[in-house]
């Protein structure tokens, strides 16, 4: 009897995550393009908006990808979560791009293992993490950093993007899996039966 495979879930979430992330970035940065540096659109009054920044004094670019955003390049996050390492610009971007490549390879291998394919939650978690990783990796390669635009200004939360959402949800599912589901599937330790001499 063949066991059910969730490889389709892993692949679907990875492809959906990277696609939605890249499309949302292009749509938002293009629709809010403002060469005077900042573009905003209120989504939830007093709480949440779409917020894009553009680099002051940057050279205008005729390259294909920048045309989709507008001739003035977007301001990007060179670092990681909460802007970690962003003050080092090129070094930080190169480091985190390298980490993303290694993570994508490791997740790709992990996601195709037989034991992973049979696990719904683990396949979903890894698919989301891979999608988020690839979305931000694309930005690091093309723009030299990650484009962010989702801003909960009610609590002044750092600006983020859809790839970050995939990474956080995927990491949460992975933690849930490690703490609860993985523990349930571990076989109980064998207890040797007492030997009675007769």
Confidence class for position 69, pLDDT limits 50, 70, 90: low
Question: What's residue 151's pLDDT?
Answer: 94
CB-CB contact of 107 with 133 (8 Å): yes
Among the listed residues 119, 139, 148, 156, the single catalytic one is 148
Examine the residue annotation and report whether 164 is marked as an active-site residue of this protein. Answer: yes
The residue that leads in pLDDT, 33 or 137, is: 137
Tell me how far CA of residue 67 lies from CA of 24, 25, 72, in angstroms: 15, 13, 9
Confidence class for position 156, pLDDT limits 50, 70, 90: confident
116-148: per-residue pLDDT in tens?
999 999 999 999 999 999 999 999 998 889 999
Confidence class for position 170, pLDDT limits 50, 70, 90: very high
* Residue boundaries of the structural domains of the chain: 7-181
Q: What is the mean pLDDT of residues 164-193?
A: 77
pTM of the model: 0.82
Q: Determine the 3-state secondary structure of 114 from DSSP.
A: helix
pLDDT surpasses 90 at 165: yes
User: Mean pLDDT score of the chain, rounded to an integer?
Assistant: 83
The whole-angstrom separation of Cα 151 and Cα 138 is: 21
Examine the residue annotation and report whether 119 is marked as an active-site residue of this protein. Answer: no
Q: How far apart are the first and last CA of the chain?
A: 44
Question: What's residue 186's pLDDT?
Answer: 52
Interacting residues of 30 by C-beta distance below 8 A, sequence separation 6+: 68, 69, 70
Question: What's residue 57's pLDDT?
Answer: 58
pLDDT surpasses 80 at 194: no
Among the listed residues 21, 53, 119, 164, the single catalytic one is 164
Confidence class for position 1, pLDDT limits 50, 70, 90: very low
β-bridge pairing 150-152 and 48-53: antiparallel
Where are the extended beta strands (E) located within 119-192? 150-152
40-58: per-residue pLDDT in tens?
899 999 999 999 988 765 5
């Amino acid at each position: 009897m063949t066991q059910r495979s969730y490889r389709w879930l892993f692949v679907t979430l990875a492809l959906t995550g990277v696609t939605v992330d890249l499309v949302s970035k292009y749509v938002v940065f293009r629709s809010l393009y403002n060469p005077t540096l900042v573009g905003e659109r209120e989504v939830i009054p007093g709480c949440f908006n779409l917020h894009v920044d553009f680099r002051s004094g940057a050279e205008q670019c005729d390259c294909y990808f920048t045309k989709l955003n507008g001739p003035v390049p977007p301001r990007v996050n060179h670092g990681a979560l909460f802007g970690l390492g962003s003050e080092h610009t090129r070094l930080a971007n190169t480091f985190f791009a390298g980490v993303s490549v290694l993570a994508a390879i490791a997740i790709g291998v992990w996601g195709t293992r037989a034991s992973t394919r049979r696990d719904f939650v683990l396949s979903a978690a890894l698919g989301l993490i891979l999608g988020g990783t690839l979305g931000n990796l694309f930005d690091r390669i093309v723009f030299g950093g990650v484009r962010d635009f989702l801003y909960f200004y009610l609590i002044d939360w750092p600006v983020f993007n859809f790839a970050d959402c995939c990474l956080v949800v995927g990491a949460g599912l992975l933690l849930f899996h490690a703490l609860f589901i993985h523990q349930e599937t571990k076989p109980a330790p064998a207890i040797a039966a007492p030997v009675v001499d007769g």
